[in-house]
């Protein structure tokens, strides 16, 4: 350990691109710690014996151990320590909501700010990836075969863990590029795609096979996979079905689901049009409806495409916003305007079918609803119009029905989520497991990874018994 513990109440700040400059480019916002900063922050960790932070991590990263290694300058060992339980450290270090997980439980957070666990995780991962560290060694092949449907966080984690246990794993991805929400949803400036590719390449080096362009349920069914000799199957198809508001004007030109808006920009690289072939319209005044991370991502993308005015339109107050505090903060810094406690009632169009504005109504908070948050109720007669040329609807996604409807006997919730055992991910079909947003509805990367991990263990045990 370094000679001196750092008792600074504040986290070591992480350098960021200037808000004015970054609002015009798609490069990463947060720039990461230097070695010196990482050493400084690592020495804030008290190395608590009872490790409260670890109990806050859905994939059980051995946090004090890896931070100790960083403090000792053993950066690559720190990375390997993280990778023992987490297949995607560079990604988690960037997009995990640490403030409600590991860092929320950090003892240093009682008086002052918690240890910057996410920043340190990112540092270790970036350092090691930069040095070209070999991926973990796989288990000796045990002759078992598993199929993983969906290459998002749940699927990739499940695949990595199975491969480590010596299972022959094939991942089936519907898109032309693997990564799921990590590549179509989360923008470049929050999670560089080259990095996601490197993390996935590491899995491929471990022997995980990835088949793209495989829309499961259409190209192959669960039944087909069984016939092809897969002993178990994991379904991690995510929450890909966009919700709309069902208000007049939603099919006007210039109204997008957040999925479409983000997919055009991120996966299809529309922000590089015409160098890339997928077109995007560079709108001038954009409203994003919703208060989650997807809404913040959409708003910040719209800004980067050159919009003069970008609004977040959310029906509750800022306190109820499901987005990470950091994302809200970043959005505000970049000049996104917040219309809070208002709800759209109609999207207004020009005669030739393009968006010209949105009518909204003011809301006030009433009694708490089933989510525990105070229910917003409209204030009669408080409608007003916002002048716009685009609306992005970011009010949530539900699981995509494509595979579900092609899999007879797969029990699902009324709203479409696959019913799966919380501890094992087992579904109503023997040998078929599920996890991530396909089960829970839209949630976080790390929760999906946790589910993928639990399922991998259960799948392994199931196969070894067979």
Considering the complex, state which of residue 269 and residue 373 has its C-beta at the smaller distance from other proteins.
269
* Burial of 274 per CB tally in 10 Å (0-12, 13-18, 19+): exposed
Considering the complex, state which of residue 35 and residue 277 has its C-beta at the smaller distance from other proteins.
277
169 binds other proteins (CB under 8 A): no
* Burial of 243 per CB tally in 10 Å (0-12, 13-18, 19+): middle
346 binds other proteins (CB under 8 A): no
Of 275, 319, 372, 466, the one binding other proteins (CB under 8 A) is 275
Of 4, 176, 319, 414, the one binding other proteins (CB under 8 A) is 176
Of 257, 298, 440, 444, the one binding other proteins (CB under 8 A) is 257
Distant-in-sequence, close-in-space partners of 118: CB < 8 Å, separation ≥ 6: 92, 93, 94, 96, 98, 102, 103
Of 240, 292, 431, 435, the one binding other proteins (CB under 8 A) is 240
Q: How far is the CB of 419 from other proteins (least distance, A)?
A: 21
Q: How far is the CB of 259 from other proteins (least distance, A)?
A: 5
| Residue 444, helix vs strand vs coil | coil
Residue with tokens 């339109």: 313
Considering the complex, state which of residue 227 and residue 369 has its C-beta at the smaller distance from other proteins.
227
Considering the complex, state which of residue 283 and residue 304 has its C-beta at the smaller distance from other proteins.
283
Cα dihedral 227, 229, 234, 240, rounded to 10, equals -50
* Binders in 426-465 for other proteins, by CB under 8 A: none
Size of residue set near other proteins by CB under 8 A: 43
Find the distance separating the first CA and the last CA of the chain, reported in whole Å.
Answer: 48
Q: How far is the CB of 119 from other proteins (least distance, A)?
A: 32
382 binds other proteins (CB under 8 A): no
Of 263, 293, 298, 407, the one binding other proteins (CB under 8 A) is 263
What are the distances in angstroms from CA 258 to CA 289, 297, 435, 442? Answer: 9, 9, 23, 13
Q: Residue 50: how many CB atoms within 10 A of its CB?
A: 9
215 binds other proteins (CB under 8 A): yes
User: Among positive and negative, which fits the CA dihedral 423, 429, 433, 437?
Assistant: negative
Of 134, 201, 223, 277, the one binding other proteins (CB under 8 A) is 277
248 binds other proteins (CB under 8 A): no
The phi and psi torsions of 289 (rounded to 5 degrees) equal: -95, 120
For residue 357, the surrounding DSSP H or E stretch is: strand 355-368
Q: How far is the CB of 279 from other proteins (least distance, A)?
A: 3
Considering the complex, state which of residue 33 and residue 261 has its C-beta at the smaller distance from other proteins.
261
What does the alpha-carbon distance between residue 227 and residue 213 come to, in Å, rounded to a whole number? Answer: 20
Choices 20-28, 107-115, 206-214, 438-446 (CB under 8 A): range interacting with other proteins: 206-214
Considering the complex, state which of residue 74 and residue 221 has its C-beta at the smaller distance from other proteins.
221
Of 5, 20, 131, 272, the one binding other proteins (CB under 8 A) is 272
Considering the complex, state which of residue 337 and residue 345 has its C-beta at the smaller distance from other proteins.
345
What does the alpha-carbon distance between residue 242 and residue 339 come to, in Å, rounded to a whole number? Answer: 22
Q: How far is the CB of 41 from other proteins (least distance, A)?
A: 39
Of 175, 332, 335, 365, the one binding other proteins (CB under 8 A) is 175
* Contact (Cβ atoms closer than 8 angstroms) between residue 141 and residue 116: no
Of 6, 51, 60, 278, the one binding other proteins (CB under 8 A) is 278
Distant-in-sequence, close-in-space partners of 450: CB < 8 Å, separation ≥ 6: 58, 59, 157
Of 37, 63, 146, 268, the one binding other proteins (CB under 8 A) is 268
212 binds other proteins (CB under 8 A): yes
| Residue 310, helix vs strand vs coil | strand
Cis status, amide bond into 274, omega within 30 of 0: yes
Q: Give the strand order in the sheet containing 255-257.
A: 255-257, 390-393, 285-289, 309-314, 337-340
Of 32, 187, 242, 376, the one binding other proteins (CB under 8 A) is 242
Choices 45-53, 67-75, 211-219, 361-369 (CB under 8 A): range interacting with other proteins: 211-219
Of 50, 352, 370, 371, the one binding other proteins (CB under 8 A) is 352
27 binds other proteins (CB under 8 A): no
227 binds other proteins (CB under 8 A): no
Q: How far is the CB of 128 from other proteins (least distance, A)?
A: 28
Structure tokens at 36: 């010196």
* Contact (Cβ atoms closer than 8 angstroms) between residue 436 and residue 452: yes
Q: Residue 306: how many CB atoms within 10 A of its CB?
A: 12
Positions touching other proteins (CB under 8 A) are: 174-176, 184, 212-215, 218-220, 240-242, 244, 246, 250-251, 253-254, 256-257, 259-260, 263-264, 268-269, 272-281, 352-353, 400-402
């Amino acid at each position: 350990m370094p000679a001196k513990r750092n008792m600074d109440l504040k986290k070591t700040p992480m350098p960021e691109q200037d808000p004015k400059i970054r609002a015009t480019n798609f490069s990463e916002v947060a720039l990461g710690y230097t070695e010196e900063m990482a050493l400084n922050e690592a020495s804030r960790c008290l190395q608590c014996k009872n490790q409260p932070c670890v109990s806050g991590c859905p994939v059980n990263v051995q946090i004090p151990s890896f931070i100790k290694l960083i403090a000792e300058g053993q950066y690559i060992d720190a990375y390997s320590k993280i990778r023992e339980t987490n297949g995607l450290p560079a990604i988690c270090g960037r997009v995990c909501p640490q403030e409600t997980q590991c860092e929320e439980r950090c003892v240093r957070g009682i008086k002052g700010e918690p240890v910057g666990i996410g920043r340190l995780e990112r540092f270790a991962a970036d350092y090691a990836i930069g040095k070209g560290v070999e991926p973990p060694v796989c288990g000796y092949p045990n002759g078992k075969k598993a199929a993983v449907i969906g290459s998002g966080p749940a699927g990739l984690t499940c695949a990595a863990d199975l491969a480590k246990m010596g299972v022959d794993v094939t991942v089936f991805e519907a898109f032309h590029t693997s990564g799921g929400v990590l590549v179509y949803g989360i923008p470049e400036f929050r999670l560089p795609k080259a990095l996601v590719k490197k993390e996935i390449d590491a899995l491929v080096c471990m022997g995980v096979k990835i088949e793209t362009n495989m829309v499961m349920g259409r190209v192959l069914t669960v039944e087909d996979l069984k016939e092809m000799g897969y002993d178990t199957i994991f379904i991690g198809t995510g929450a890909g079905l966009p919700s709309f508001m069902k208000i007049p004007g939603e099919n006007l030109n210039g109204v997008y689901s957040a999925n479409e808006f983000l997919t055009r920009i991120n996966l299809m690289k529309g922000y590089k049009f015409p160098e890339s072939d997928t077109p995007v319209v560079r709108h001038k005044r954009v409203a994003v409806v919703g208060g989650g991370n997807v809404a913040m991502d959409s708003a910040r993308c719209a800004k980067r495409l050159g919009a003069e005015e970008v609004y977040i339109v959310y029906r509750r107050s800022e306190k109820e916003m499901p987005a990470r505090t950091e994302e809200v903060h970043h959005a505000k810094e970049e000049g996104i305007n917040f219309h809070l406690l208002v709800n759209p009632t109609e999207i207004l169009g020009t005669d030739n079918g393009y968006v010209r504005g949105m009518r909204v109504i003011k809301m006030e908070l009433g009694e708490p609803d089933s989510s525990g948050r105070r229910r917003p109720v409209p204030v009669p007669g408080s409608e007003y119009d916002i002048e716009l040329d685009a609306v992005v609807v970011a009010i949530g996604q539900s699981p995509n029905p494509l595979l579900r409807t092609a899999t007879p006997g797969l029990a699902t919730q009324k709203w479409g989520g696959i019913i799966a055992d919380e501890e094992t991910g087992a579904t109503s079909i023997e040998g078929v497991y599920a996890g991530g947003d396909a089960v829970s509805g839209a949630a976080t990367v790390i929760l999906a990874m946790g589910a993928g991990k639990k399922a991998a263990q259960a799948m392994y045990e199931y196969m070894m018994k067979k």
